[in-house]
Copies of this chain bind each other. A is one copy, B any other.
Amino acid sequence: MLFHVRMDVHLPHDLPPTEAAEILAREKAYSQELQHSGKWRHIWRLAGQYANYSIFDVRDNEELHAILSGLPLFKFMDIEVAPLLRHPSSIRDSDA
Contacts and interface: CB of A to CB of B under 8 A. Distances in A.
Contact of A82 (B11, B53, B60): B53
A39 to B, nearest CB: 12
27 contacts: A1-B60, A1-B61, A4-B46, A11-B75, A12-B13, A32-B89, A32-B91, A35-B89, A35-B91, A35-B92, A42-B95, A44-B84, A44-B85, A44-B86, A44-B90, A45-B84, A46-B81, A46-B84, A47-B61, A47-B81, A47-B85, A48-B69, A48-B81, A62-B86, A64-B83, A65-B85, A83-B83
Interface of A: 1-5, 11-13, 27-28, 31-32, 35-36, 42-50, 52-53, 55, 60-62, 64-65, 68-69, 75-76, 79-92, 95
